């Protein structure tokens, strides 16, 4: 998978796995990673699926309706890629925190739904329930931050609330932050994500 790896100044911090939204690329979320933790290593990945010239991490049948077969395949592909990248770049595979927006947040959620110990934690901006009717692995040691907009025209509030309920039901520690905005990424939810990351992963 096309990607960028940047070695951070502090190897004890989790490696940030950056996962862009539809139409983005491996450069999109680098400024976001800098805002959340300037000292962490970064693995920024470009989605392998092309939707009318726009990169995505998995296919969809239409807006808001995922191609579940492709989702499962692409989720495994990404999980295997993280394994391979950890060996290649020398970061701790057990200490990876995803930072995803929209489509990227959805595949990050899918990693937690389908692969035990895939992630140490996740920062999910504007995410949906990746899949229904599956048994989610035990997420007792996984922290999740969810940023969402109350007026998001693409993701209704009850969709995000269902995701939160599912993750908590799998024993994840979930923090949620709601803005008055829509599907756009707002500074206040990024600031709250930074605070959450520092509280959970930086030893003071």
Segment 88-131, tens digit of pLDDT: 999 999 999 999 999 999 999 999 999 999 999 999 999 999 99
pLDDT band for 203, please (50, 70, 90 cuts).
low
**Of 143, 139, 148, the residue nearest 176 (C-alpha):** 148
Is 138 among the catalytic positions? no
Tokens 């509030």: give the residue: 157
**Bridge partners, 178 (sequence order):** 148
What is residue 60's predicted lDDT score, i.e. its pLDDT?
Answer: 83
In tens, the pLDDT along 53-89 reads 999 999 988 776 788 999 999 999 999 999 999 999 9
The upper half-sphere exposure of residue 136, i.e. CA atoms within 13 Å in the direction of its Cβ, equals: 23
Q: What is the largest CA-CA distance in the chain?
A: 46
How many domains are contained in the chain?
A: 1
Mean pLDDT of 132-140: 94
Q: What is the pTM of this model?
A: 0.95
Q: Which one of 20, 28, 44, 152 is the catalytic residue?
A: 152
pLDDT band for 204, please (50, 70, 90 cuts).
very low
Q: What DSSP string describes 73-121? A: HHHHHHHHHHHHHHHHHT--TTSEEEEEETHHHHHHHHHHHHSTTS-SE
**Of 14, 118, 106, 20, the residue nearest 60 (C-alpha):** 106
Q: Which one of 3, 89, 115, 183 is the catalytic residue?
A: 183
What is residue 78's predicted lDDT score, i.e. its pLDDT?
Answer: 98
Rounded Cα–Cα distance for residues 158 and 22 (Å): 22
Per DSSP, the three-state class of 196 is: helix
Contact criterion met (CB below 8 Å) for 149 and 179: yes
Domain that holds residue 111: 3-201
Is 102 among the catalytic positions? yes
In tens, the pLDDT along 139-190 reads 999 999 999 999 999 999 999 999 999 999 999 999 999 999 999 999 999 9
Q: Which one of 37, 102, 110, 122 is the catalytic residue?
A: 102
DSSP 38: T
Is 41 among the catalytic positions? no
User: Can you give the CATH number for the domain in which 78 is found?
Assistant: 3.40.50.1820
What is the percent of the chain where pLDDT is above 70?
99
The pLDDT of residue 28 is above 70: yes
Which H or E element spans position 174? Answer: strand 173-179
């Amino acid at each position: 998978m096309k990607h960028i790896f940047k070695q951070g100044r502090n190897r004890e911090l989790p490696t940030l796995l950056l996962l862009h939204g539809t139409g983005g690329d491996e450069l999109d979320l680098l400024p976001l990673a800098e805002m959340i933790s300037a000292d962490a290593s970064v693995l920024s990945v470009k989605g392998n699926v092309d939707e009318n010239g726009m990169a995505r991490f998995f296919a969809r049948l239409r807006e808001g309706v995922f191609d579940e077969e492709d989702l499962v395949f692409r989720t495994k592909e990404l999980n295997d890629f993280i394994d391979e990248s950890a060996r290649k770049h020398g970061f701790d595979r057990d200490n990876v925190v995803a930072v995803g927006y929209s489509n990227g947040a959805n595949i990050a959620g899918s990693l937690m739904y389908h692969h035990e110990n895939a992630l140490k934690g996740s920062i999910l901006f504007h995410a949906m329930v990746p899949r229904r009717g599956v048994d989610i692995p035990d997420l007792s040691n996984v922290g999740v931050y969810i940023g969402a907009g109350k007026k998001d025209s693409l993701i209704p509030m009850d969709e995000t609330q269902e995701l939160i309920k599912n993750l908590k039901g799998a024993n994840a520690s979930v923090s949620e932050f709601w803005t008055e905005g829509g599907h756009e990424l707002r500074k206040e939810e990024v600031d709250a994500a930074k605070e959450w990351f520092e509280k959970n992963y930086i030893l003071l």
